[in-house]
Amino acid sequence: MRIGVFATFMSPIATAKMITDFGRRAEDAGLESLWMGEHVVLFDEMEFGYPGSADGRIPVPANGGLLDTVATFGLLAGCTKNMRFGTGISLVPQRNPLYTAKEFATLDWLTGGRIDFGIGVGWCKEEVIACGYGWEDRGERCDEFLTLMQKLWTEPVVNYQGKHVNAVGVKMDPKPIQKPHIPIIVGGHSPRGLRRAAEFGSGWYGFGMDPTATRQVIEGIDAALARAGRTRDGFEIVITPNTADADTIREFADLGVDRLVLHLGSQKPEKVDRRLGELETLVSAAA
Q: Identify the sign of the CA torsion 104, 107, 109, 113.
A: negative
The total number of structural domains in the chain stands at 1
Could you report the per-residue pLDDT of 136-186, keeping only the tens digit for each? 999 999 999 999 999 999 999 999 999 999 999 999 999 999 999 999 999
Pairing type for strands 33-36 and 2-6 reads parallel
Classify the C-alpha dihedral 160-103-202-164 as positive or negative. Answer: negative
Could you report the per-residue pLDDT of 51-100, keeping only the tens digit for each? 877 788 888 888 899 999 999 999 999 999 999 999 999 999 999 999 99
User: What is residue 82's predicted lDDT score, i.e. its pLDDT?
Assistant: 97
pLDDT at 257: 97
Our CA angle for 61, 64, 67, nearest 5°, is 120
Residues 98 and 166 sit within 8 Å (Cβ to Cβ): no
pLDDT tens, position by position, 12-58 = 999 999 999 999 999 999 999 999 999 999 999 999 988 877 788 88
Q: At 223, which CATH number? A: 3.20.20.30
Show the domain range for 115. 2-286
d(CA 238, CA 120): 14
pLDDT at 256: 96
> Which pTM was predicted?
0.96
pLDDT at 180: 97
C-beta of residue 36 within 8 angstroms of C-beta of residue 69: yes
- Mean pLDDT over all residues of the chain? 96
